[in-house]
Amino acid sequence: MIAIGGFSPLKGFLERADYETVVEDMRLSSGLPWSIPVTLSVDEEIADSLKEGNWIRLNDPEGNFIGVLELTQKYHYNKTHEARNVYGTEESKHPGVKVVYEQGAVNLAGPVWLLQRDDHPLFPKYQIDPAVSRQSFKDRGWKTIVGFQTRNPIHRAHEYIQKCALEVVDGLFLHPLVGATKSDDIPADVRMRCYEIMMEKYFPQDRVILAINPSAMRYAGPREAIFHALVRKNYGCTHFIVGRDHAGVGDYYGTYDAQYIFDEFKPEELGIVPMKFEHAFYCTRTQQMATTKTSPSLKEERIHLSGTKVREMLRKGELPPPQFSRPEVAAELIKAMQN
Amino acid sequence: MIAIGGFSPLKGFLERADYETVVEDMRLSSGLPWSIPVTLSVDEEIADSLKEGNWIRLNDPEGNFIGVLELTQKYHYNKTHEARNVYGTEESKHPGVKVVYEQGAVNLAGPVWLLQRDDHPLFPKYQIDPAVSRQSFKDRGWKTIVGFQTRNPIHRAHEYIQKCALEVVDGLFLHPLVGATKSDDIPADVRMRCYEIMMEKYFPQDRVILAINPSAMRYAGPREAIFHALVRKNYGCTHFIVGRDHAGVGDYYGTYDAQYIFDEFKPEELGIVPMKFEHAFYCTRTQQMATTKTSPSLKEERIHLSGTKVREMLRKGELPPPQFSRPEVAAELIKAMQN
């Protein structure tokens, strides 16, 4: 993500000065907005064996040589301070905090370079780097493009919000995250198949591009919403959808905190416009999808199922109502759940 | 409209310099965007009887004293030139051009003042002046407000576009035009009753304000779209919906000309953001409202009725399909047509 420009203006793992201002103020030391530390943490022992000024070989998890780090700094950092500031909690059961607590004690910093890459093992067709997506938007004559982040299977509420946003821009960039997620999230390949089904039948292909975001989830809620938006700006998006509890987990963040946080930056600093949506559902009174903002309906006129309820239905092989999920998508999820 | 600030920055009927730059360049002589001449035209004989520098009494059509004009200028103008530039045609069968051809040969110019007004004879409840709507938006905490102009009864396509727009702003300002329209348009009182029905059952009242725009229609298509947007900015709107063939009539304008014209101005010059929507309809494939931009459907999967067809059905007392019009609205239109 760093080397392909997905994390621009970063050119490498954060040096101490940037790390500190990011954790403290959501800004790089230059003042540019940046809300999530991007660090390479290793154990003391490894750190001791490396010299500042050295070139370090970077491997993928299988041990293949994929990149080079020019080590400019190594430094200790305060894990609970990072947890508290970035995730708003010091609890180790928070999946993002857990990763921080489990990683090494020393951050290695410096610019990175990527070697010639193999295709993505699972989604080669959807591996579209920022330079390519930007060119693609240009080729299609799109001036305004809205990005959509997701780590969940698509249901009608997502589709509604995506299409609403698309109505007022030129193109939609569906950008599901397929990097590491917590173990109880639906696997990326299942989610991508659901999106393929939607692209075939329910989306106009000349207005929508499906691509993968290879990053890991942090579950940092508001701060990650800013991060997700900046990443999509790098992919060429001019707008970014922020729904309820964006990048949230458990009860750590207020339902709309990830929308409010955009007010802490000047629009021109971020360079991408957040499109904020409330809770969406099917409204039986108006017989259409709506949100709490556009529907005059009473609670009992709203078709909404909890995640728990839906998972239960799918596990039993039951289709949720078509107002909640497209039947073809639900069928795909049932198949995956029963395997 | 001038005196209540609806046509700000105008303070009166256009003087010659402003009139000429408006007709020629869609700008006042100061350079500010203004696309439609706002003039008071009288016959030569009347003009001759009035002296520049005089105060002129202004009457409403019933002869009641309603305002004062400080006559600063009187000047002849070129009607065919105005017709060609503002309406894009010199044909007298164009309803806007017809009005120009039928009005007096001399424009009276100068600032105007309004006397204490009576309530609007038909819609006192919905007569909300710009200062009041702006205060009302503020009181509700709305920072972004989208305005909707219409001279037609509301059907599902309008509702869809209005709600789409509302999803991404704080509030919706429904602002039907109730001034003079051409004789075959549906009368304002019928249209307002349709909107009242919608407000009662289909719109969330805490997010939508219904008010009248007392102006006359010009049917000037693209130029009138700019004008309509500027007027809504004066009412406090930050966004303005521009659909297909906005303010059009017959075949005088291209379907999306009223959207393209916004590109001729810098966004900061206009100070209000156009939200452009394509042709909306019910899509049987996705079982929801959509536009050509968000629907992958084939033509035969779209429920759309021509205006002629709908009028024919209503005259016969037949309800159009609920995907085209809310049944309560259609019933109101049938009642009006059969009277």
Q: Which distant-in-sequence residues (6+ apart) come within 8 Å of A61 by Cβ? A: none
Q: Which long-range contacts (CB under 8 A, 24 or more apart) does B79-84 make?
A: B81/B23, B82/B23, B82/B37
Q: What is the pLDDT of residue B52?
A: 96
Calculated CA dihedral for residues A116, A118, A120, A126, nearest 10 degrees = 70
Q: Which of A145, A162, A262, A288 to mutate to test the interface with B (most CBs of B within 10 A)?
A: A288
Please report, as a single letter, which amino acid is at residue B272: I
A237 is written with which tokens? Answer: 């998006």
Q: Which distant-in-sequence residues (6+ apart) come within 8 Å of A335 by Cβ? A: none
C-alpha span between B217 and A18 (Å, rounded): 58
Angle between helices B327-338 and B307-315 (to 10 degrees): 70
DSSP A30: T
Q: Read off the pLDDT of each residue in B260-272 and give the average, rounded to a whole number.
A: 97
Angle between helices A156-167 and B156-167 (to 10 degrees): 90
Q: Read off the pLDDT of each residue in B71-92 and give the average, rounded to a whole number.
A: 98
**A303-334 as b/e: b if 16+ CB within 10 A:** eebeeeebeebbeeeeebeebbbbeebbbbbb
Sign of the torsion angle spanned by Cα atoms A219, A220, A225, A227: negative
Chain A residues within 8 angstroms (CB to CB) of chain B: 160-161, 163-168, 201-205, 207, 275-278, 285-291, 293-296, 322
Q: How many CB pairs under 8 A join A and B?
A: 70
Question: Is residue B311 very low, low, confident or very high in pLDDT (cuts 50, 70, 90)?
Answer: confident
**B82-115 as b/e: b if 16+ CB within 10 A:** bbebbbbbeeeebbbbbbbeeeeebbbbbbbeee
DSSP β-ladder status, A280-283 and A288-291 = antiparallel
- pLDDT tens per residue, range B162-217: 999 999 999 999 999 999 998 888 999 999 999 999 999 999 999 999 999 999 99
Cβ contact, residue pair A168, B166, below 8 Å: no
Is residue B152 annotated as a catalytic residue, yes or no? yes
Within 8 A of B293 by CB-CB distance, chain A residues are: 166-167, 204, 207
Determine contact, residues A173/A203, Cβ cutoff 8 Å: no
Question: Could you list the mean pLDDT of each consecutive 10-residue stretch along chain A, which spans 339 residues?
Answer: 97 98 98 98 97 94 93 98 98 98 98 91 95 97 97 94 97 96 91 97 96 96 98 98 95 97 96 96 95 92 87 92 95 91
Looking at every residue in chain B, the average pLDDT score rounds to 95
Cβ contact, residue pair A293, B167, below 8 Å: yes
C-alpha span between A318 and A41 (Å, rounded): 45
Cβ contact, residue pair B285, A201, below 8 Å: yes
**3-class SS at B296?**
coil
Domains and CATH numbers, chain B: 12-114 (3.10.400.10), 124-338 (3.40.50.620)
Determine contact, residues B302/B279, Cβ cutoff 8 Å: no
- pLDDT tens per residue, range B37-60: 999 999 999 999 999 999 999 998
Q: Which distant-in-sequence residues (6+ apart) come within 8 Å of B56 by Cβ? A: B50, B68, B69, B70, B71, B108
Q: What is the pLDDT of residue B68?
A: 96
Percent of chain B with pLDDT over 90: 91
How far off is chain B from A206, nearest CA to CA, in Å? 9
Q: DSSP for B94-152?
A: SHHHHHHHHS-SEEEEEEEEEPPPPPPSS-GGG---HHHHHHHHHHTT-S-EEEEEESS
Q: Which distant-in-sequence residues (6+ apart) come within 8 Å of B223 by Cβ? A: B26, B35, B36, B86, B87, B261
pTM more than 0.80: yes
Calculated CA dihedral for residues B89, B150, B323, B165, nearest 10 degrees = 110
> Which residue in chain A has the smallest CA separation from B286?
A202
Q: Tell me, rounded to whole angstroms, the distance of Cα A246 from its chain centroid.
A: 9
Is residue B213 annotated as a catalytic residue, yes or no? no
Q: What is the pLDDT of residue B339?
A: 78
For residue B307, is pLDDT > 90? Answer: no
Query: Is the ipTM, as predicted for this complex, more than 0.85?
Result: yes
Q: What is the pLDDT of residue B305?
A: 86
C-alpha span between B2 and B39 (Å, rounded): 11
How far off is chain B from A26, nearest CA to CA, in Å? 25
Q: Which residue has the higher pLDDT, B329 or B308?
A: B329
Cβ contact, residue pair B296, A163, below 8 Å: no
Q: What is the pLDDT of residue A323?
A: 94
Question: Is residue B117 very low, low, confident or very high in pLDDT (cuts 50, 70, 90)?
Answer: confident
Question: Is residue B297 very low, low, confident or very high in pLDDT (cuts 50, 70, 90)?
Answer: confident
C-alpha span between A152 and B21 (Å, rounded): 55
Catalytic residue among A16, A27, A84, A152: A152
Determine contact, residues A15/A109, Cβ cutoff 8 Å: yes
